Structures are given as C-alpha cells and as structure tokens.
Amino acid sequence: MTPLLSALGTGTARATGADDVYASNTDLYTRLPNGEGTDYARRYRRHEMADASPEKRFPFQRTTVMALHGGGIEAGTSELCLGVAGYHPATLEREAADGPVHDYWMFEGLRNADNRELHVTSKHCDDRVALAMAAGSLNVLSLHGCTAAQAGAPASRPEAVVVGGRNADFRRHLTEELRAAGFQTVDGTRIPELAGDDTDNICNRTLLGKGGQLELTTELRQSMFGTFTRQGRPKTANDTFRRFTAACRAAIARLEAGPDQVVL
C-alpha cells in the first residue's frame, strides 16, 4: 500500500511567503509595468455556459484549477494545471472528449533565471481575474511545488505530494485517489506552512469558503516529464503525469457529486 506520511519528524518547511519580493500580484504588476510577456505571463480559461431555456437546466461550472507559481517558479505546475483541467499542456486541445473540462488560471514565470523573485504567496494573490474565478466557483484546486524536505518525505523516496486546503472532503478524495494511483501522499494538516488552510489562501476563497491544495515535491514533478525545461515539459508529459492528473480529476468528480455541490 502506498504510504500516507505524517511528516512530523523529517524536514522543516519554511514560510512560503517569507522571501517574497512583491507583497501582492498588484504590487508585482505595478513594479514590473512592462513585464507581462517577458518576465511573466497570465493564462486562464472560463468556459462559456448559457441557459436560455425556460424548461431545461444546463450544467454550471463548479471547479477552477489554479497554478499560482507556474512556468519557471514552481516548475511543472502549469502543465499539471492544464492536465487536471482536461487540456493537453502543449496543444491546449481537449484531452478527454467524454470527460469534463474545468476552468483554469495560471501565473507563470518566463525568465531564464531568478523566477523565484516572481513568487507571490497564495494568501497575497490579489489578481482580479483569479479572485473572480475563485469567488465564482464552488471549488478550487491549487497546484504548487515544494521540496522533499518541506514535505517531510524520506530521502529514499522523495517523490511525494502534500494534500491540503480547508475542504476536508476534497482532501480525503484527493488522498484516496492519489494513493490508489501509486503516489505517496502527505497529510497537509500536519505541516502548517503547507496546509493551505488560511482563509485568505485563494484556494479557500470560493463560494463555499474552502478548497483543495496540492504541494508536489521537486522530485515528483521531475518524474512526470521526459525533459524538465519550460520548452520541453509540455511535449514530454509521461504516464506518471497522466496518472496524477487522472487521479486529481477523479477526486474532483467525487467532490462534485457531493450534497454541497448541488446548484438548485
């Protein structure tokens, strides 16, 4: 059985915003007025839905997938965001013709170096599009990168994912689906700095006031691609990547089937 780690005895997670250069996204955009397209990028998709029928009811988009530190900041999270949302990371074509697609939002570092300077911690994200998408969703799944030491993963098996967020049902579904797919999970409630339980964390700024967060170790993210560069990752996502995104999508499907997901 794939282990569920407590992460109490191994590694110390640092505060994710302790070294941030910018106090918020607005601060970053203001201080880098010509940075979009060179230093950073923003990509998102909100699916058009309409109900013009007085007799029929049509689906409502319940979940948004986010990568707040994509591109070169926490490498691999952009591609994972697209994959979990249901899109191919290279072509942006819909991957699962018979499966749902989800809204997504990404902030990506485009620099050749020093992308860490573009990191804005989740509870300080104030991008208006991102906030609007979170506030208009029942659920958000936010994807991040961490180190094996931060996750408390053993040196013999550093590939791990920390499962957090304020939605206990979402955490349970994610943990069960990821473990069933062969991934080593870590209980985020035992690591305060990676727990994703702050009410100001954008993953929890939903219609329900709660969401999900995944922190993937560098080794786990590296294992998902044949070439771990910004240009290479989208074209070399492998079976590990597909198993991970499929597990996340299965967890979202289970969550969306719950009683608190009903749109009357």
Q: Is a pLDDT exceeding 50 seen at residue 7?
A: no
Residues 17 and 123 sit within 8 Å (Cβ to Cβ): yes
pLDDT score at 11: 31
The pairing of strands 63-71 and 139-146 is parallel
User: Residue 78: which residues within 8 A CB-CB, separation 6 or more?
Assistant: 43, 67, 70, 71, 89, 106, 108, 233
Q: Which of 11, 21, 23 is nearest to 162 (CA)?
A: 11
Rounded CA-CA distance 137/211 in Å is: 10
96, part of any domain: yes
Give per-residue pLDDT as tens, 199-249. Answer: 999 999 999 999 999 999 999 999 999 999 999 999 999 999 999 999 999
pLDDT tens-place string over residues 25-68: 999 999 999 999 999 999 999 998 888 888 887 778 999 999 99
Give the model's pLDDT for residue 5. Answer: 53
51 found inside a domain: no
Q: Is residue 85 situated within a structural domain?
A: yes
* Strand-pair category, 212-217 with 139-146: parallel
In contact, 213 and 201? CB cutoff 8 Å:
yes
Residues ≥6 apart with Cβ < 8 Å to 28: 22, 35, 40, 118, 120
pLDDT for residue 8 is more than 70: no
SS3 annotation, 64-102: EEEEEEEECCCCCHHHHHHHHHCECCCCCCECCCCCCCC
* Domain annotation covers residue 55: no
> What are the structure tokens assigned to 115, written together?
């992308």
What is the pLDDT averaged over residues 81-89? 98
pTM (whole model) above 0.75: yes
- The predicted model gives 82-87 an average pLDDT of 98
- Which CATH number does the domain housing residue 198 bear? 3.40.630.100
Structural domains of the chain, count: 1
Beta-ladder partners of 144: 215
Domain extent, residue 237, equals 4-45+60-258
Listing from the earlier edge strand, what are the strands of the sheet with 139-146? 4-5, 185-187, 161-164, 212-217, 139-146, 63-71, 103-109, 40-45
Per-residue model confidence as pLDDT tens digits over 135-194: 999 999 999 999 999 999 999 999 999 999 999 999 999 999 999 999 999 999 999 999
In-domain check, residue 264: no
53 located within any domain: no
Query: Phi and psi at residue 103, in whole multiples of 5°?
Result: -65, 155
Whether residue 54 lies inside any domain: the answer is no
**pLDDT classification of 23: cutoffs 50, 70, 90:** very high
Q: What is the pLDDT of residue 9?
A: 33
Residue with the bigger pLDDT between 1 and 85: it is 85
157 domain-assigned: yes
CA atoms of 63 and 69, how far apart (whole Å) = 19
